Chain A
């Protein structure tokens, strides 16, 4: 705020007023619909921000030297959003898991039933927690590796608040029953349109910042962030083409039908995993791992191979979700083939990461933050192997529709996405708040073991339940009839559902510990004396080609 000029403040106020007007229109048109509630939420959010803006609008003009420094304020707010969504999303996840074992935990209310809180968990964790972590770290990484300040003052805030408004509309919508039922893309048409606006702004900000870079080459992490931003936009638009019932209805009908819709959905769904949950977080890996280990990336050529392999192959692999269905056979087989090939670029990145640690293994033992990152790379390798394996038709026939798939995505979500995020946050937080260190190294250690144990319990419970259920479904008696009724197989699941809820609870406790530790770091830890090596302000006088550690 203090860094915005009065002209930028006026422009921000104009945007907020325009949004409030749109919100009022939504509230009026959709007054007999969930759309009206969302209109009210838009109005409240924009007016709240507007009051905050006005209360500070008459502060002093920022000094002109701000342009020569990195712009870290939006990152700080982004970290706070990340921590909030982590706890919210994981809490709802534990609750949903508990409902599968004890169905009365919805307390007989519609909004709290499993079908409505399940997408709130998915969106809260993937888009709330993961998305905010990606946006915050991308703002950090692109500035450091380009040695350039973000290209704009206002649009970072627009991206951040706009994105969180999308998450808020999505999650509150699910509680009210607003969903288009497409996996990983459940928000309705108006939230989707809003996300497109936010995302295009994000893309323009990112590419303009890259254009200002003082490094001749674009650093590897930025390739991944770029692929994440660009391809997610393509996926999102194609998958979400819908016709709303009317402008006063939250409900819409997707333009794709039946078998085509299923293919578009999984083309999107699997690539949301590829370009949101893999490429984006690989960008974190390629910056924070060498940073923390203080070693260069093991191989530049492996980085190239892995990047283009992932960008090209992943797009083909989505149809492996539709084995043995009414989708034409050739598409199923193509999906399987490319899924198997995908193992090569995936393991190129996982191997590149682990080999980077050669000669730094003693640090992994002593530094829990680096251990977070190392374990994330390990789980990345594990889940991509499992992913290729599960795409093989006979394996898929056993695993599909069972908890095996749930276990697989959580090995990725908990073991890869969440661990790399926390490893990155523990590196990022002291850096942008310019603290010497985290508040408590012991608490980082506690978090690591809670997260690790929680992941293992969760994943093993789901592997067991999935394989048992899959096998029970296809067991025959000697007479050639099915041995088990569906309910028999459900009954066998209960112990695993309880174990899963316990594993999730451990993971949630870890997230609470992390939030406390980061909060105390910002509050209590003294500011580091002197500039950090990686935080040398961008200076016009800086000689070309001087490596700042991060860029090479």
Chain B
């Protein structure tokens, strides 16, 4: 009987295509649609902050250079992950990440909580030639980042595009995007004060690449790396019920 039904279906191209669409749609709808409505998908926290324009530019450089292919940004609920990298990642920590950069391969270590672990100076040395600080490393050198000026003039458009997909940047932030990016990397400049006003007192204003007069791609990337895992303290406050972590001795 089923064979006869199928024999009929095989005789009509349109019917067959519709059947394919129906069969293939169920799984995706069941798994994806609820993620947008179920409250528990993303935790509510008060202290979650936005990327500054400089950090966002750094994030875009991270994407551009394909860093996600070797570095994950997702600490799993496994004992060795947590002990090596810090508290496991919460959904809220990538709430404003368009796209997410959880990754699928660790040729290098996870970077979800690398912010604040090393000095700016260490990051610059490491990016300039990784083998100077980690002799065994097989990471490419990115020395040219420090020689490449950061493109500032269109950062407002980047913030505006992000606002249209749901990141709550204000008009003021969009207007001042280029100034804020400059100010964050040039601490003594008059533009520097606006950054902490708009993005919070804990925003790190620093001469990331060690040069205090100009803004390079190195500034942006280091600023981004330094904020990873520090957008909220939620992960340290145990807001979500932890998953039972398997005991390695079992």
Contact = CB atoms under 8 A, between A and B. Distances in A.
11 contacts: A103-B131, A115-B69, A249-B157, A259-B42, A261-B100, A324-B243, A331-B35, A397-B246, A403-B105, A405-B104, A476-B80
B198 interface: no
A275 B89 CA distance: 31
Nearest to B80: A474
A183 interface: yes
A328 B11 CA distance: 42
A181 B104 contact: no
Interface string B1-14: 01100110011011
Nearest to A216: B11
A179 B62 CA distance: 11
A108 B144 CA distance: 9
Contacts of B67: 115
Nearest to A260: B35
B26 to A, nearest CB: 7
Interface of B: 2-3, 6-7, 10-11, 13-14, 16-17, 20-21, 23-28, 30-32, 35-36, 38, 40-42, 60, 63-70, 72, 74, 76-81, 83-84, 88-110, 130-131, 134, 136-144, 154, 157-158, 161-162, 164-167, 243, 246, 248
Given A103-B131, A218-B11, 14 more contacts: A119-B69, A257-B98, A260-B35, A260-B36, A262-B100, A265-B100, A319-B31, A327-B91, A334-B31, A402-B106, A405-B105, A473-B80, A482-B80, A482-B84
Most chain B beta carbons < 10 A, residue from A313, A328, A482: A328
A312 B80 contact: no
A401 B11 CA distance: 46
Given A315-B25, A482-B83, A491-B136, A257 B100 contact: yes
Given A180-B99, A259-B41, A315 B28 contact: yes
Most chain A beta carbons < 10 A, residue from B10, B66, B80: B66
A517 B160 CA distance: 55
B66 A476 contact: no
A99 B130 CA distance: 14
Contacts of A308: 23
Contact of A218 (B2, B16, B76, B88): B16
**Chain A at the B interface: SS class:** helix
Contacts of A325: 74, 76, 89, 102
Interface residues of A, number: 101
B10 A115 contact: no
A316 B30 contact: yes
Given A249-B154, A312-B27, A401-B104, A261 B65 contact: no
Contacts of A253: 98-99, 158, 161-162, 165
Interface string A210-224: 110000111000010
B158 A245 contact: yes
Contact of B13 (A174, A210, A245, A322): A210
Contacts of A178: 64
A331 B35 CA distance: 9
A119 B24 contact: no
B3 A207 contact: no
Nearest to A398: B78
A99 B136 CA distance: 14
Contact of A254 (B20, B98, B248): B98
A64 interface: no
A221 to B, nearest CB: 12
A481 B84 CA distance: 10
Interface in A311-364: 311-319, 321-329, 331, 334-335, 338
Contacts of B83: 481-482
Contacts of B102: 262, 322, 325
Most chain B beta carbons < 10 A, residue from A100, A329, A405, A486: A486
